[in-house]
Chains A and B, each alone.
Chain A
Amino acid sequence: MNGGEDAFRALYRAHTPALYALAMRLTARDQSEAEDLVQETWVRAARKMSTFRGESALRSWLCGVLINVRRERVRSAWRMVGAVDIEPVTPARDDAAFDLERAIAGLPEGARDVFVLHDVYGYAHREIADLLGIVEGTSKSQLARARALLRVALNLDEARP
């Protein structure tokens, strides 16, 4: 093992748990997709590491890379859907201890992304708009939609049909 590999493994171990947690939430707890997302994030980050200027924390920068990779993969998946008849991967639903996580996982994709970034990770709408390639108004409307759906999912308004 050489110094470069040692250094990379240290970086990986320091930041991957945070990246993986974010990836799991963005992918509705699809473990395989989350792992692919983390791997592609590191590949992309290794290529772009020279562009990291240190204005933000490394972890924030890595999370931004992951969100970008996720956005590209979602777009790519949409282009490919329709070529063959594939059942969508659904998150596991058998763990009652994670009602909140499961409710988040059940949100529609666009609303889930905004909700996770805003309400779980504290990103501002402007940052979310930049990261997801949407306008701030869309970010706000998706957040409102996500919260309304979450209220129903968690039965907060006794509005469950």
Chain B
Amino acid sequence: MTELPNDIARALAELPRELQPDPALEERVVRAVLGRRRPWLWGGAAAAIAAAVLLVIAHPWSGASAAGQTYVLLLSETPAYLAPPAGHMNERRAEYGRWADSLARLGKLELEGHLDPPGTIVDGIFIIRAANDSDAARIAATCPHNKYRGHIELRRFVE
């Protein structure tokens, strides 16, 4: 097997084994491990995804989220959108809920909600915290809405 020169091997052995993370990480981790999250509250009747899905519930960790910027994910349908079969709306909602829950455990979810009354353009909204545009795009890429060929518009929120 290819060996590395001794000086490189020594340098590797001397690389620091410890690195201090951002101090804010401690609070995130403590909340994630010891905190409790409110149950998901899906709003509105289950007419259809087009009739609006996602929620407005202040998340319990709001105001204590990780450093970074706030982004808004606007979910809408496309002509190719794969709507859930009749009677399976709750499963679809639960899937989105699990995704939101995973963000919440990472301290990256600010708000979830639905628009009242339902509109015809935007089906759902998530407000998240992300380190930067790339991080936000990566989070958006994990949303189940992509799998169903929906459209997600990602916008930076400026206060």
Contact = CB atoms under 8 A, between A and B. Distances in A.
B132 interface: yes
A16 B152 contact: no
A132 B4 CA distance: 23
A78 B8 CA distance: 32
Interface residues of A, number: 46
Contacts of B9: 119
Contact of A89 (B5, B138, B147): B138
Given A17-B20, A32-B132, A150-B4, A42 B32 contact: yes
Interface stretch (B21-29, B44-52, B79-87, B115-123): B21-29
Interface residues of B, number: 43
B12 interface: yes
B141 A81 contact: yes
Contacts of B26: 9, 12-13, 16
A8 B12 contact: no
Interface of chain A: mostly helix, strand, loop or mixed = helix
Interface string B27-51: 0111011100000000000000000
Interface of A: 4-5, 8-9, 12-13, 16-18, 20-21, 24, 31-32, 34-36, 38-40, 42-43, 46, 76-77, 80-81, 83-84, 86-89, 100-101, 119-120, 140, 143-144, 147-148, 150-151, 154, 156
Interface of B: 1-5, 8-9, 11-12, 15-22, 25-26, 28-30, 32-34, 66, 68, 105-107, 130-132, 134-135, 137-138, 140-142, 146-147, 152
